[in-house]
Amino acid sequence: MIIKKPPATDDAFIESNVVKRFSPLARQVLAASGPIISSAAAGMTNGFSAILLPQLQQPGSKLSITEDQASWIASMAPLPMALGCILGGLLMERCGRKSAHLLLNISFAIGWCVLSMAGSYAQILAGRFITGLSCGLVGPPASVYIAETSDPRYRGILLAGVTFAVSGGILLAHLFGTFFRWQTAALLCSLFMIVAYLLMVVSPESPAWLLARGARSEAEASFRWLRGFDPASRQEFEAMVARTDKTVNSGKASEGPADGTSDQNRSPYKRREFLMPLATLLVFFATMQFSGVNIVAFYSIALMKTTIGSDSLNEYLAMLIVDLVRVVTSLVACILLRSVGRRPLAMASGVGTTVSLIGLSIFLYFQTSIPLYRNYSWLSLIFLISYIVFVGIGLFPLPWCMTGEIFPVATRGLGSGLTSSFNFVCFFAVIKTGPTLFATVGINGTFLVYGVISLLGTLLLYVILPETKNRTLQEIEEQFRRGRRKSKDAEASAGEEGPAVAPARIATIS
């Protein structure tokens, strides 16, 4: 009797039966949910001062604060964000993307609990400092983890989920502050960190980070959990391993004698593929912050009273309308990032933001100078909503999306940490100087200044911003190494050569 041996079973096929109930996309969304909820806590931190300060300044408040103290409460959160970004970048490189998220969720929860139990001005500053530091900690790991665990087809929309969560967090903080005391609102914010922590516990570590540490078996298990077991994913992982081995070998070669002329012998932090993304994101973040994107969130109620007038519309209602528009715009940005390129979206956002800011400035000037225009304060709200829409579809989400995708894997931790840190330095400068600008040049003059900065930044981005939509991380790295113009020429020549050269692009991923 002939006994046939059973066909050899593939371990990957056996594992795929275990997780076949959930598609790779569903597992990638699950992995991205933890960082996205943590980013929502960052939005809550940004929006918390808008409901905290008015309650502290009410006549019946147990804590009375001065205008200078109010300014410090508002700016205390942005103050440590830059330091948090550097620490977050170093932490995720040393301990891993997942471990960094687990630690920052604990830090966030502690900060919110300190705020909820604060009974003095110093304790409020301490709580704001801890939550601000946690905002910085979440900046680099969130974008990098999502970029490294998602398929290039879905990377844009998942990364845009970070800014959508920030906008949603601002709305939630304002809603909590509208219906509850600020201590209760802080306690409600802390509950989100428990959910984010649990989601990160069940999510895998980044395959790219594991491969860089030489843990190939763990990296493969993580990659299979995220991306599935089909032949395309097999090829993608092998290309990923080959790229990591090449990077390691080039790093070892650079340790030996070098004549200083080869790019491979230079430090990875001195190469074009690191310096150009760094410069691009520094310009992008400066343009985003100095166009006043966070002024509206931090000083919402005060701005509403001045912009629309206290007799025309309830300022709390107007604040929630603006918050709702911001959330809807962030959702639209997620859809646009799935279908529209980064460059056209950035240009449309920059031009629209500039026009809205300058138009709002001009109208506010007439509104405050000519009594006839005071009855048309609702037009100011329309200009303000237009500004929120245009800044929300491009200038706000795009730099955060690109932080996780345009740096090489070897320099991704430091690069994302530096650019995020610079963003929060600009953040602090804008929030701290906002009241001074309001008092010196008025609301209309402040919006005019932001409009001019938005225009100059948009023109500069037109020159240096590359297109990264639907590109693998390795293709983006090669694009920066060659330069945008040379990359266009290479793509054009590849298109003329036909499909014979197409597989070379498919087989690379960082």
Q: Answer yes or no: pTM beyond 0.85.
A: no
Dihedral, 453, 454, 459, 460 alpha carbons, nearest 10: 70
pLDDT tens per residue, the chain (510 residues)? 444 444 443 444 344 443 556 788 889 999 999 999 999 999 898 888 878 888 887 777 778 777 778 878 877 887 788 888 888 888 888 889 999 999 999 999 999 999 999 888 889 899 999 999 998 899 888 988 998 888 878 887 888 888 889 888 888 888 888 888 888 999 999 999 999 999 999 999 988 888 888 888 888 888 888 887 777 777 777 877 777 776 666 555 544 444 444 455 567 777 777 888 889 999 999 999 998 887 776 666 666 666 655 555 566 676 677 778 878 888 888 888 778 888 899 999 999 999 988 988 888 777 766 666 566 666 777 788 888 889 888 888 888 888 877 887 778 778 888 888 888 888 888 877 887 888 888 888 888 999 999 999 999 999 888 887 767 666 777 777 776 555 555 444 444 444 433 333 333 333
Question: What H or E segment, with its residue span, contains residue 346?
Answer: helix 342-369
Handedness of CA 406, 409, 411, 414 (dihedral sign): positive
Residues 6+ apart with CB under 8 A from 402: 277, 280, 281, 284, 342, 468
Same domain assignment for residues 410 and 314: yes
| Type of residue found at 453 | I
In a domain, 13, yes or no: no
Same domain assignment for residues 332 and 196: no
In a domain, 50, yes or no: yes
Same domain assignment for residues 193 and 280: no
In a domain, 108, yes or no: yes
Confidence at residue 19, expressed as pLDDT on a 0 to 100 scale: 53
Confidence at residue 187, expressed as pLDDT on a 0 to 100 scale: 92
Same domain assignment for residues 196 and 309: no
Confidence at residue 5, expressed as pLDDT on a 0 to 100 scale: 42
Same domain assignment for residues 92 and 174: yes
Among candidate residues 185, 203, 221, the one where a domain is terminated: 203
Give residue 327's domain range.
Answer: 270-483
Confidence at residue 315, expressed as pLDDT on a 0 to 100 scale: 61
Same domain assignment for residues 160 and 297: no
Confidence at residue 11, expressed as pLDDT on a 0 to 100 scale: 44
In a domain, 492, yes or no: no
Same domain assignment for residues 162 and 302: no
395 DSSP 8-state letter: I
Same domain assignment for residues 29 and 124: yes
Confidence at residue 22, expressed as pLDDT on a 0 to 100 scale: 74
Go through 341-366 and write b for each residue having 16 or more CB atoms within 10 A of its CB, e for each that does not.
ebbebbbbbbbbbbbbbbbbbebbbe
Same domain assignment for residues 194 and 297: no
Question: What H or E segment, with its residue span, contains residue 223?
Answer: helix 216-227
Same domain assignment for residues 191 and 283: no
Among candidate residues 149, 175, 203, the one where a domain is terminated: 203
Tell me if 32 sits within 8 A of 158, measured CB to CB: yes
Confidence at residue 106, expressed as pLDDT on a 0 to 100 scale: 94
In a domain, 223, yes or no: no
d(CA 259, CA 138): 40
Burial of 158 by CB count in 10 Å (0-12 exposed, 13-18 middle, 19+ buried)?
buried
Confidence at residue 182, expressed as pLDDT on a 0 to 100 scale: 87
Among candidate residues 203, 225, 259, the one where a domain is terminated: 203
In a domain, 446, yes or no: yes
In a domain, 127, yes or no: yes
In a domain, 79, yes or no: yes
Same domain assignment for residues 470 and 324: yes
Same domain assignment for residues 90 and 188: yes
CATH code of 473's domain: 1.20.1250.20
**What total number of domains does the chain contain?**
2
Which residue's entry shows tokens 């983006």?
476
276 DSSP 8-state letter: H
d(CA 70, CA 97): 35
The 10 Å Cβ neighbour count of residue 22 is: 11
